[in-house]
Structure 1
Amino acid sequence: MKSTLILAIAFVASSFTLSTEKPVDVNNSKITWKGHKVTGTHDGHITLQKGALKFDDKNQLTGGSFIMDMPTLTVTDLEGEMKGNLEAHLKSDDFFSTEKHTTATFVITNVSGKDGKYKVTGDLTIKGITNPNTFDMVVSGNTAKADLKVDRTKYDIKFRSASFFDNLKDKAIYDNFDLNVNLKF
């Protein structure tokens, strides 16, 4: 009877997968963005406030979550007054409303793949609006890299979007912007 009980406990324990959460080193991680318009592009970065990736006992990615500090949004392709003006505009209600919405979040909801090459799906929340986003992520050693395309109009960011306004011509800003994520953990 005693050996049967021990065997049953061992079986139940072995059916659970152990999970390890690895905090992201926010000081050495980097999130860059690039916005596209008819006449060119602008780019910059956003500071990661907090994040973690989850791995199973075989070191396969299973989940994670991240918080971006939206008031840290900066422009890196301009200098001086033009840089300050664009940063202020991006932080305004025309774009990310960073006074009202100080963070943006991403929570992984599904992971497929193995051996460092994954298809990740998660919920991206910007301005309090949540939408799913799917992208490829590569994990190697203590680094995870991903490139996301984000449709800003799904987050009520419609300023100069040709999808919502006519006759913008060369003033149009494309709906999709890029987020390039390089995480260290």
Structure 2
Amino acid sequence: MTSDIGSLTRTTQPTSTPAHLKHPSFAMRFTSTPRGARLARRLVAVRLDEWGVPYGTEPHEAVVLIAAELTANAIRHGLVPGRDFHLSLRVTDRPRPAARIEVTDTRGERVPPLPGRLRAPGVADDGRGLVLVEGLAARWGWYPRAKGPGKTVWAECEIPGAASGC
């Protein structure tokens, strides 16, 4: 058996999005465990690569890091025993092409501060997640869950085609 490895090329430069993926989306519920957060992060990475935002590019890595932080917060600060968290990822084109990540949990009484009001926690071992999100995302925020208790934390990161990257 022979294989032509030379025909399998990967690029680290953003590629154009095929017409059928102009507004791709992905949504799934995950268990509120470290394993669920890890799986969510990995699926975000795979989807972005499939949608033309390749592994190793700054936008890809930024979006995956944002997804990791938001899902980690959902299992740490939004945990209600026996309840899952929901992640959605989609590509928007307003005001510029961006990946929008939304993570919904069922704990409504623990909400993040408003964007722009975060402070780095000094020498603490934790508490930097939303500071990272704010630094990487073009926009972020949260809103109450539409049905039932909880909240949705979202972030948008500009992707190829935007002037500043992510």
TM over 0.5: no
Higher-Rg structure is 1
TM-score of the two chains, using structure 2 as the length reference: 0.32
The structure with more strand, counted as a fraction of residues: 1
Structure richer in helix, relative to its length: 2
After TM superposition, the score normalised by the length of structure 1 is 0.30
